Amino acid sequence: MNQRTYLDYNATAPLRDEVREAVIAALSIPGNPSSVHAEGRAARRAIEAARTKVAALAGARAEDVIFTSGGTEANALALGAPPGEAWHCYVSAVEHPSVLLSRRVSQKAPTRFPVTSDGVADLESLAKELSALEETRPFVSLMAANNETGALQPVAEASQIVHDAGGMLHTDAVQAAGRIKLDMAALGADLLSLSAHKIGGPTGVGALVLRPGASVEPLLRGGTQERRRRPGTENVAGIVGFGVAAELALTDLANSGATAKLRDELEGGVLALVPDAVVLSAESERLPNTTCFAVPGVKAETIVIALDLAGVAVSAGSACSSGKVEASHVLSAMGISDELARGAIRVSLGFATTRADIKTFLKAFGELIGRLRPRVAA
């Protein structure tokens, strides 16, 4: 098989070699981490070492990290109603489906607040919503960065509004981790979600990080693991791999400027080939690794399939929505027309992306556009 060019890190990052080695080693630990014998203590030490590394990635304390089966479960755990309180949930219109479809915080569906045409949360609308709230307290979920456009969200500003209204704020930082610096205190977040496989860790493991003193209601019953916050025997090997990936991702932050230059080179090349292409959220602050653009009159499926045949992997919007024919809810919330939104593709770079990968993409994309739109390409 010919060597392929992988540019779909926002869907999942390739497993890092160091992580693979650590996971294989951890699989040889026979003990249950809840057991008191030597084997159990060895498993517990491995988990706690990983917990410290994951906490560092979020700028948090190790004791405030709850390991889960992934980002979706972390979001579900976060959006569980805090004990003994009456809450109403507010979510931005561009959140991940695991947040948008939550029903645990309120008997009613969460209230969605809008975003601007650049995909950034409209905090004036949020503040207006919260000022009208009576009897219940607000619970707000605002992602740190959008998975489709890369647009960074004003989490710190939102947290101030939410806390002034007596509420709590959760941020889904799954896409932001390892790409921008995270700090629980600076963000003002009460709860923060992470996922291992977005940063080169194994699939099937994530974490919910709490601010000191915050609590959550367990989704499951039956065990005392994770300080009684998430029962069930821990995935030792997956958690160890998560810890190694978190440590490496924290180091990778130093390379974010170089990644942004590669993204800008890709966008410049696309616009040179197709001057009427539209780069979405181009005017907002974005993740350094993410671009989402559309070619008017060309369907995203056509581009994705053609690039795949040419050995280049990209996505049509969010991988969680692949296979659907309707336009992305993120782009719809931004006011992008359905016709243009259905042509949007996402290219996301990562720790192994090189300038040669960008050139390979542009060559394949240029050949594709030359077939589909020969006059433009000429």
What's the sign of the alpha-carbon dihedral 331, 336, 339, 343? negative
More reliable by pLDDT, 326 or 94:
94
Q: Given pLDDT bands bounded at 50, 70 and 90, which one contains residue 133?
A: confident
Does residue 209 carry a pLDDT above 50?
yes
CATH of 5-14+254-377, one of 3.40.50.10470, 3.90.1150.10, 3.90.79.10, 3.20.20.120: 3.90.1150.10
Does residue 57 carry a pLDDT above 70?
yes
Just list the catalytic residues.
Answer: 320
Question: How many whole angstroms separate alpha carbon 237 and alpha carbon 23?
Answer: 5
How much is the pLDDT for 373? Answer: 75
Size of the chain in residues? 378
Question: How many whole angstroms separate alpha carbon 234 and alpha carbon 232?
Answer: 6
pLDDT in tens, 233-260: 999 999 999 999 999 999 999 999 999 9
Cα–Cα nearest to 92, from 119, 116, 114: 114
Q: Give the fold, CATH level 3, of 17-251.
A: Aspartate Aminotransferase; domain 2 (3.40.640)
Task: From residue 75, give the alpha-carbon distance in Å to each of 43, 127, 139, 172, 216.
Answer: 26, 23, 13, 7, 11
Q: For the chain, where do the domains classified as CATH 3.90.1150.10 start and end?
A: 5-14+254-377
Whole-model pTM above 0.85?
yes
How much is the pLDDT for 377? Answer: 44
Q: Given pLDDT bands bounded at 50, 70 and 90, which one contains residue 374?
A: low
DSSP 176: T
Q: Given pLDDT bands bounded at 50, 70 and 90, which one contains residue 110?
A: confident
Contact 258, 148 (CB under 8 A): no
| Residue position matching structure tokens 């009613």 | 108
Q: For the chain, where do the domains classified as CATH 3.40.640.10 start and end?
A: 17-251
